[in-house]
């Protein structure tokens, strides 16, 4: 059975949109985990060892590379665009929080 071209394109488009949004959701969950770790570090000064700082900085670098390498598709909705920008801004803020915690 051959599908009409419009249906075929729409199925692919919907699949890509769903995957892209799931990826953003997973990035958001990763930022939640990072934020939780930073909050714990703020409360416990002994957690801020050189080893902790090195590991945390690597995590932030990886998240930054992954998040900033996400290209914004031309079909992205305004909501999708806002979400991506918000995640990038949040990572920037978390990095600043990390630097404040690691400099104690």
Is 33 part of any domain? no
Is residue 63 situated within a structural domain? yes
Domain total in the chain: 1
What span, in angstroms and rounded, lies between the C-alpha atoms of 35 and 23? Answer: 18
As given in the structure block, the two tokens for residue 20 are 């892209």
pLDDT of residue 35: 95
- Mean of the per-residue pLDDT values for the chain? 86
Is residue 22 in some structural domain? no
pLDDT of the residue at 36: 94
Q: Is the pLDDT of residue 26 over 90?
A: yes
Whether 12 is covered by a domain: the verdict is: no
What is the mean predicted confidence (pLDDT) over 95-101? 88
Q: pLDDT digits over 44-79, tens only?
A: 766 667 888 889 999 999 999 999 998 877 777 899
In a domain, 82, yes or no: yes
Residues 4-18, mean pLDDT to the nearest whole number: 79
Asked if residue 15 is part of any domain, the answer here is: no
CB 52 within 8 A of CB 41: yes
Per the structure, the complete domain to which residue 77 belongs is given by 48-104
């Amino acid at each position: 059975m051959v599908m009409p071209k419009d249906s075929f394109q729409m199925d692919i488009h919907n699949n890509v949109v769903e995957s892209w949004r799931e990826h953003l959701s997973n990035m958001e969950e990763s930022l939640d985990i990072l934020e939780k770790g930073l909050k714990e570090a703020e409360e416990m000064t002994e957690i801020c060892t050189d080893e902790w700082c090195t590991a945390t900085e690597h995590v932030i670098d990886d998240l930054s590379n992954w998040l900033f390498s996400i290209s914004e598709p031309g079909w992205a909705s305004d909501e999708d665009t806002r979400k991506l920008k918000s995640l990038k801004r949040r990572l920037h803020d978390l990095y600043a929080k990390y630097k404040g915690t690691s400099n104690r």
